[in-house]
Amino acid sequence: MRFVVVTGMSGGGKRTALKMLEDAGYYCVDNLPVSLVHKFAELITMPGSEITKVALGLDVRADQSFEDATKILQELKKREYNVEILFMEAGDDVLIKRYKESRRVHPLAVEGRIEDGVRQERKVLETIRRQADYVIDTTSLLTRELKEELDRIFVNNEEYNSLMVTVMSFGFKNGIPADADLVFDVRFLPNPFYLEELKHKTGNDREVQEYVMGFEESHVFMDKLVDMIRFLIPNYIKEGKYRLVIAIGCTGGKHRSVTLANQLYDRLKDQGSYGVTLHHRDVNNPGT
């Protein structure tokens, strides 16, 4: 019996994760009252049960204490139930934006501000987040990438990537990404924008890539950057960091930064101990 408890921040992707697990063959139950969790665990593990994979969604509610859920999960683990806790996470700004776009009411901010509800919920979930077996941050994850991560952990039984690295290109004229942990400026390289044949292309086009990587400085920079990142990542993982955003910027975010972000992504992906995603923030921005 594989018993996965899906919890985390409201708006962090719990519902989406449950739907994906259901599609993967898990028997899914959502919004079960905390008082029934223990009884539910007993029923699904009775001799003769044909259920082999279960996913249970647990939410913060204004009308019940989440501390009770934390205690029950601890008791289940002590009784040798094979309980795994999946915690769905996202940055505060993203959670607030998602709530505003959906026009839903935050469970802990029925009559107040969404920001206050998010802050209170994060405090309530602090203990269970520390106890979680898996933490997935959906701040920069595409739906496809989330499915790939869930399949890898809960279907293919591969090793969990405790750190998700996002490599992002951007244009300084549009501002530095607010969620960036490491920012690198590549405006020291010649700008393809001033070449008429490259001006309307991007770093995703072969011609621009060949131009940008045609300078020795580009290769030296990339070698030094990869060496530093590979040194930092194991130390970030050791300190419990679960999300790292590496932002590479040029003037408009279309040529040099895109080329070098692609290069960095190619050299970091498939490492095994961490996941890597790629995002070009400004490559299709008509204002740049």
Instruction: Judge whether 45 lies within some domain.
Output: yes
Q: What is the pLDDT of residue 75?
A: 85
Predicted pLDDT at 21: 96
In terms of Cα–Cα distance, which of 53, 44, 71, 55 is closest to 14?
A: 55
pLDDT value of position 44? 86
Judge contact between 107 and 130, C-beta under 8 A.
no
- Is 273 a residue whose pLDDT tops 80? no
Examine the pLDDT at 62 and tell me if it is beyond 70: no
pLDDT for residue 112:
75
Those residues whose C-beta lies under 8 Å from the C-beta of residue 247, and which sit 6 or more positions away, are 168, 169, 170, 176, 177, 180, 182, 183, 184
Query: What is the per-residue pLDDT for 272?
Result: 66
Q: Which of 154, 175, 194 is the last residue of a domain?
A: 154
CB neighbours (10 Å) of residue 227? 10
My answer on whether 45 and 171 are in the same domain is no
Residues 133 and 170 in one domain: no
Residue 159 belongs to some domain of the structure = no
Residues 118 and 204 in one domain: no
What is d(CA 280, CA 257) in angstroms, rounded to the nearest whole number?
Answer: 9
- The 3-state DSSP class for residue 156 equals coil
Average pLDDT score over the chain: 89
Highest average pLDDT, of 26-35, 67-76, 279-288, comes from 26-35
- In this predicted structure, the answer to whether residue 287 has a pLDDT above a threshold of 60 is no
Residue 285 belongs to some domain of the structure: no
Same domain, 117 and 227: no
Residue 286: inside a domain, yes or no?
no
Instruction: Classify residue 175: in a domain, yes or no.
Output: yes
Which spans in the chain are helix H?
14-23, 37-44, 66-78, 92-102, 114-124, 126-131, 143-154, 196-199, 206-212, 216-238, 256-268
pLDDT score of 241: 84
Confidence of residue 24 (pLDDT cuts 50, 70, 90): very high
- CATH number, domain of 55, equals 3.40.50.300
pLDDT at 230: 93
pLDDT at 9: 93
Same domain membership, residue 9 and residue 111: yes
Q: Is the dihedral of CA 100, 106, 110, 114 positive or negative?
A: negative
| More confidently predicted of 198 and 111 | 198
- Pairing mode of beta strands 83-89, 182-185: unpaired
125 shares its domain with 169? no
* Least-confidence region, from 92-101, 194-203, 213-222, 259-268: 92-101
Domain count, the chain: 2
Q: How far is it, in rounded angstroms, from Cα 124 to Cα 20?
A: 26
For 44, phi and psi rounded to 5 degrees? -75, -15
Residue 287 lies in a domain: no
Q: Do both 57 and 193 map to the same domain?
A: no
Let me know whether 240 and 114 are in one domain: no
Specify whether 14 is located in the same domain as 133.
yes
Q: List the one residue out of 89, 288, 126, 138 whose CA is nearest residue 203.
A: 288
Buried b / exposed e along 243-279 (16+ C-beta atoms within 10 A): bbbbbbbbbbbbbbbbbbbbbbbebbeeeeebbbbbb
What pLDDT digit, counting tens, does each position of 147-206 carry? 988 998 999 887 777 788 999 999 999 999 988 999 999 999 999 999 999 999 999 999
- Residue numbers of the domain that contains 86: 2-154
Residue 217 confidence class, pLDDT cut points 50, 70, 90: very high
Mean pLDDT value across residues 204-212: 97
Q: Is residue 288 part of a domain?
A: no
Mark whether 181 and 226 lie in a shared domain. yes
Is the same domain home to 143 and 256? Answer: no
pLDDT at 271: 72
Residue 88 lies in a domain: yes
Question: pLDDT band for position 23 (50/70/90)?
Answer: very high
How far apart CA 89 and CA 209 sit, in angstroms, is: 35
Of 44 and 65, the one with more pLDDT: 44
| pLDDT score, position 103 | 77
Domain stop point among 88, 121, 154: 154
Whether pLDDT at 63 is above 70:
no
Residue ending a domain, among 95, 124, 154, is 154
pLDDT of residue 12 exceeding 80, the answer is: yes
Residue 64: the pLDDT is: 60
Q: Is 238 exposed, middle or buried (0-12, 13-18, 19+ CB in 10 A)?
A: exposed
Q: Is the pLDDT of residue 109 over 90?
A: no
Both 104 and 205 in a single domain? no
